[in-house]
Copies of this chain bind each other. A is one copy, B any other.
Amino acid sequence: MAGADPQATATQEVSLLGRFTQQRATVLEALIEAEKADGFVSVQSLHTRLLAAGSPVGLSTVYRTLSALAEAGRADVVRDMHGERLFRYRPGSDHRHYLICTECGVSVTLDSMTVENWAAGVARTSGFTAVRHTVELTGLCPDCGPSTEGSPHD
């Protein structure tokens, strides 16, 4: 199906931000690929990844590119427990949630209509505007899970 070419998609996104540069294309390509594999990525890890891949992009450029993308509404941003900014490429207008294995990193796409409706309802009844939600589920996948049951946690 279409949309499977990160390079082409990245090029398109760059043009939305302004002038085309190789750095921006590289950053966006990496972000798009990361979205498929991990969902959210930190700026630092993305930068490290680019350097390791032989694309010496400046850290500032990564920050500026991702910030611009987020401002353009093409990426979501959250803060992790360490205070790092995590970015996630937003392919379309649809909004999905994942269940991620904390051990091996495998992820499952969830049918989140329930949550979407709940969040929309909350937004409506609370009087708040511009309501956004972050929903993350983590756990151990069947392969990584413990063989012994019965550890009540939380």
Contacts and interface: CB of A to CB of B under 8 A. Distances in A.
Given A83-B83, A137-B122, A128 B99 contact: yes
Contacts of A128: 99, 101, 108, 139-142, 145
Contacts of A123: 137, 139
Given A118-B115, A122-B99, A154 B130 contact: yes
Interface in A65-113: 73, 77, 79-81, 83-85, 95, 99, 101, 108, 110, 112
A132 interface: yes
Contacts of A129: 139-140, 145-146, 149
A37 interface: no
Interface string A114-127: 11001100110011
A130 B139 contact: yes
A151 B79 CA distance: 25
A116 B54 CA distance: 44
A149 B85 CA distance: 30
Interface residues of A, number: 43
A138 interface: yes
A19 interface: no
B122 A131 contact: no
A106 to B, nearest CB: 10
Interface of A: 73, 77, 79-81, 83-85, 95, 99, 101, 108, 110, 112, 114-115, 118-119, 122-123, 126-142, 145-146, 149, 151, 153-154
